[in-house]
């Protein structure tokens, strides 16, 4: 079904609007849905080479994500959903990953899973996310800059879900919280003038940090029931920190949910 979601992305004007905003991506040449269910998508070729995780390319990728998120910020995301885009972004979203949830041990992270997901859904920062911003889905060209492709998991979510996956899987050199905050501030600095130009309220940095922290825990939840990859030290460092903050809470989903909303009010 993710390919049908990508077809919707190219059938609408999303790709054109992204490129017009300075966030380069492929442009559709043909989208054909056969009566048999067979799907064909033809798109333009992107210039350049694979993403290298260098500091400069990482900065450019964060700029690209900020442009995407600003373009669909707030009510604009709701409009994109009405145009047929997915209501939930990211392949690890809890609504589509019950198999991995059942594989998890009966521990604190499993009890917290629905609370984390509910808090992210309630986040006041909502936009359309790429949904799978890993290095394999990013191209870099010396002249054209950064481009993203593969919009199978494009959908509505807090921007922190894209950031958590990008930091946890694609970005290099994230060995400390200071470095995480530095890169997240770089994203925030890119996002701020874009939102101001649209007369949108700019989120506080600490609110963005808290959302990013929970999104990494959400990603870690899927990895426990699926398989781990990327910067697992970073990802599970956030999981450990959240589990520590939940110590002493009765182990049931509702109590964990209440505590998560208490610690991180939306």
Using CA atoms, how far residue 88 sits from 8, 142, 153, 240, in Å, is 14, 34, 8, 26
Using CA atoms, how far residue 223 sits from 67, 109, 152, 161, 192, in Å, is 28, 11, 20, 14, 32
Residue 116 lies in a domain: yes
Residue 18 lies in a domain: no
Residue 115 lies in a domain: yes
Instruction: Write the CATH number for 227.
Output: 3.90.1200.10
Is 41 in a helix, a strand, or coil? strand
Query: How confident is the model at residue 215, as a pLDDT?
Result: 98
Residue 29 lies in a domain: no
Using CA atoms, how far residue 52 sits from 146, 153, 175, in Å, is 11, 22, 17
Residue 30 lies in a domain: no
Strand-strand pairing, 145-148 and 155-157: unpaired
Annotate 92-119 with b (16+ C-beta within 10 A) or e (fewer).
bbbeebeebbeebeeebbbbbbbbbbeb
Residue 12 lies in a domain: no
Tell me how far apart the terminal alpha carbons of the chain are, to the nearest angstrom: 31
Residue 63 is encoded by which pair of tokens?
């700029």
Residue 39 lies in a domain: no
Mean pLDDT for the chain overall: 96
Query: How confident is the model at residue 4, as a pLDDT?
Result: 94
Query: Domain tally for the chain?
Result: 1
Tens-digit pLDDT profile for residues 148-197: 999 999 999 999 999 999 999 988 778 889 999 999 999 999 999 999 99
Residue 145 lies in a domain: yes
Tens-digit pLDDT profile for residues 97-123: 999 999 999 999 999 999 999 999 999
Domain that holds residue 165: 46-263
Query: How confident is the model at residue 174, as a pLDDT?
Result: 83
pTM beyond 0.75, yes or no: yes
- Region 241-259 average pLDDT: 95
Query: How confident is the model at residue 173, as a pLDDT?
Result: 75
Instruction: Yes or no: say if 230 and 169 are a contact pair by the CB < 8 Å rule.
Output: yes
């Amino acid at each position: 079904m993710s390919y049908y979601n990508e077809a919707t992305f190219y059938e609408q004007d999303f790709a054109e609007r992204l490129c017009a905003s300075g966030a380069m991506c492929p442009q559709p040449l043909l989208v054909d849905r056969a009566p048999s269910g067979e799907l064909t998508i033809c798109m333009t070729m992107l210039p350049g080479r694979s993403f290298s995780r260098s500091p400069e390319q990482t900065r450019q990728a964060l700029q690209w994500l900020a442009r995407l998120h600003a373009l669909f910020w707030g009510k604009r995301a709701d409009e994109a959903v009405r145009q047929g885009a997915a209501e939930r972004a990211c392949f690890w979203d809890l609504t589509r990953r019950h198999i991995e949830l059942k594989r998890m041990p009966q521990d604190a992270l499993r009890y917290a899973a629905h609370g984390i997901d509910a808090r992210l859904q309630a986040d006041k920062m909502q936009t359309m996310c790429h949904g799978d911003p890993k290095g394999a889905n990013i191209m870099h060209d010396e002249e054209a800059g950064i481009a993203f492709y593969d919009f199978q998991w494009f959908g509505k979510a807090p921007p922190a879900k894209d950031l958590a996956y990008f930091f946890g899987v694609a970005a290099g050199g994230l060995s400390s919280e200071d470095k995480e905050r530095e890169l997240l501030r770089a994203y925030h600095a890119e996002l701020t003038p874009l939102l101001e130009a649209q007369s949108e309220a700019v989120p506080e940095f600490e609110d963005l940090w808290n959302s990013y922290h929970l999104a990494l825990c959400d990603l870690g939840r899927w990895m426990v029931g699926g398989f781990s990859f990327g910067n697992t030290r970073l990802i599970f460092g956030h999981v450990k920190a959240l589990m520590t903050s939940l110590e002493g809470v009765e182990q049931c989903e509702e109590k964990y949910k209440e505590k998560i909303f208490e610690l991180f009010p939306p």
